[in-house]
């Protein structure tokens, strides 16, 4: 086994041990894994319970928790527990897709700005500053309120159940990249002056290869941390948009539009508001704790000590 491999394995073990010291991050990771597995298994749980999430029963609306309905039923008599699981699938999917989209866009722009510098750097960073300067929630509301049919999209596509999911994820992802871009740009400015990058340039390596092979792997740590920390905020934005009727549209369930459906019943069935609100709160806090743990584990200053 070569010295480089041994050094890589020892660094990996060091990072893992540092992460294990962050108990809240470990607990948050376990909680998020359980929540993701339960949400992904929603169809199996639905089949095992024999209570279809789409089946309405107006004679059994707003029923209290029971063996047949662990969290009771909603205003249409649908099982609330199954609806919560399906809502988790949508909310977590939107958050992860939007976070990855913002990460990819921000990483690309940050690499280009940091490596080439000059006029390109100035233009891209002024664009990032312009997006950051805008109030994010009003901007998302305005973008979400645009009629997609006016953009030339087919009416059949716009009316499909899945369209609102991908639309919300795309909108949030397309405006969430500037902070990642600034992080990557700063790290790239430092990396491009390192000896191994200069050596690669002297050997004739192209700009694309240098950015992809020599710079990108060394700037991933802050990107991973920033992306993890952003997921909680994205869940909140998706919930707010869905709550306002501009996000994921019924009959597709998300935690945000479940809150919308329950707001008029808060005095008759307060738990219909409590459960999705509690899951949103717990998930956001868990992602923030996970991001803090990753930040502590991947902090190069702490690793060097």
User: At 120, which CATH number?
Assistant: 1.10.3720.10
Q: Say which residues have a Cβ less than 8 Å from residue 77's Cβ, sequence separation at least 6.
A: 56, 57, 58, 59, 60, 61, 63
pLDDT for position 38:
92
In a domain, residue 162? The reply is yes
**Full-model pTM:** 0.83
Domain count, the chain: 1
pLDDT for position 10:
66
In a domain, residue 8? The reply is no
In a domain, residue 91? The reply is yes
In a domain, residue 2? The reply is no
In a domain, residue 9? The reply is no
Residues of the chain with pLDDT > 70, as a percent, come to 93
For the chain, give the secondary structure using H, E and C. CCHHHHHHHHHHHHHHHHHHCCHHHHHHHHHHHHHHHHHHCHHHHHHHHCCCCCCCCHHHCCCCCCCCCCCCECCCCCEHHHHHHHHHHHHHHHHHHHHHHHHHHHHHHHHHHHHHCHHHHHHHHHHHHHHHHCCHHHHHHHHHHCCHHHHCCCHHHHCCCCHHHHHHHHHHHHHCCHHHHHHHHHHHHHHCCCHHHHHHHHCCCCHHHHHHHHHHHHHHHHHHHHHHHHHHHHHHHHHHHHHCCCCCCCCCCCHHHHHHHHHHHCCCCCHHHHHHHHHHHHHHHHHHHHHHHHHHHHCHHHHHC
Q: Say which residues have a Cβ less than 8 Å from residue 262's Cβ, sequence separation at least 6.
A: 74, 75, 269, 272, 273, 276
Residues of the chain with pLDDT under 70: 1-12, 151, 299-305
Question: Is the separation of the CB atoms in 51 and 82 below 8 Å?
Answer: yes
Mean confidence (pLDDT) of the chain: 82
In a domain, residue 133? The reply is yes
pLDDT for position 304:
47
Residues of the chain with pLDDT > 90, as a percent, come to 14
Residue-range definition of the domain harbouring residue 96: 19-300
In a domain, residue 192? The reply is yes
In a domain, residue 5? The reply is no
The tokens for 48 are 């095992």
């Amino acid at each position: 086994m070569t010295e480089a491999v041994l050094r890589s394995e020892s660094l990996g073990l060091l990072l893992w041990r540092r992460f294990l010291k962050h108990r809240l991050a470990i607990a948050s990771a376990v909680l998020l894994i359980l929540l993701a597995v339960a949400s992904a298994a929603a169809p199996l749980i639905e089949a095992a319970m024999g209570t279809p999430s789409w089946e309405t029963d107006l004679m059994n609306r707003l029923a209290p928790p029971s063996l047949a309905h662990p969290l009771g039923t909603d205003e249409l008599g649908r099982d609330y527990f199954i609806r919560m699981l399906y809502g988790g699938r949508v909310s977590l999917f939107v958050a992860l897709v939007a976070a990855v989209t913002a990460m990819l866009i921000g990483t690309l722009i940050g690499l280009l700005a940091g490596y080439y510098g000059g006029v390109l750097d100035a233009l891209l960073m002024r664009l990032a500053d312009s997006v950051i300067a805008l109030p994010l929630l009003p901007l998302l509301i305005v973008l979400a309120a645009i009629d997609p049919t006016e953009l030339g999209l087919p009416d059949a596509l716009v009316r499909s159940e899945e369209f609102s999911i991908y639309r919300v994820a795309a909108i949030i992802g397309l405006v969430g990249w500037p902070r990642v871009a600034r992080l990557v740009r700063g790290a790239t400015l430092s990396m491009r002056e390192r000896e191994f990058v200069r050596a690669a340039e002297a050997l004739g390596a192209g700009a694309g290869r240098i950015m992809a092979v020599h710079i990108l792997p060394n700037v991933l740590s802050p990107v991973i941390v920033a992306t993890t920390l952003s997921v909680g905020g994205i869940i909140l934005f998706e919930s707010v948009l869905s709550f306002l009727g501009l996000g994921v549209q019924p009959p597709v369930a998300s935690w945000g539009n479940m809150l919308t459906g329950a707001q008029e019943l808060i005095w008759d069935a307060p738990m219909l508001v409590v459960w999705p609100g509690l899951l949103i709160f717990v998930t956001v806090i868990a992602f923030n704790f996970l991001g803090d743990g990753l930040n502590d584990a991947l902090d190069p200053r702490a690793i060097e000590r």
